[in-house]
Amino acid sequence: MKAIVQRVTEARVDIAGDTVGRIGPGVLVLVCAMQGDAEPNAKALADRVAKLRIFRDDNGRMNRSLLETGGGALVVSQFTLAADTSRGNRPGFSAAAPPDEGERLYEHFVSALRATGIHVETGRFGADMAVHLVNDGPVTVPMER
């Protein structure tokens, strides 16, 4: 699985003008299931996100995790993380898991992240979403598992 983790002061996702997920300080996680991924990949990635030390400690250093800060996570499915741009100008997405498998693994990732005790909000898999965020830092970290 692939993810982009962004440290935020706030984030929300809207669908057709309605807010479906909103957090204050924490992380926005854009996540994509890849061909060949399985539940262990989703759980391992969720555990890494929860423990990723990208929040400031008392000395201003990135030394605290989401678990330590009590922040929230807004998780949004994003199959375009699987984009292959190695040929031509149009990206290919064949490396992404098929939609039914991608949705199942996305839901497994969300459940695994919630199981760590983190408050998790979500978008809606496959929906046309507007994601709003205030990137804190900015801090943006790509991850794979």
Q: Which domains does the chain have, with CATH numbers?
A: 2-138 (3.50.80.10)
pLDDT of residue 77: 97
**Percentage, residues of the chain above pLDDT 90:** 98
Taking residues 67-83, report their average pLDDT: 97
State phi, psi for 123 to the nearest 5 degrees: -85, -155
Q: What is the mean pLDDT of residues 123-145?
A: 96
- State the Cα–Cα distance between residues 135 and 63, nearest whole angstrom: 18
What value does the mean pLDDT take over residues 73-100?
Answer: 96
pLDDT in tens, 26-55: 999 999 999 999 999 999 999 999 999 999
Predicted local distance difference test score (pLDDT) of residue 121: 98
Catalytically active residues are: 78-80
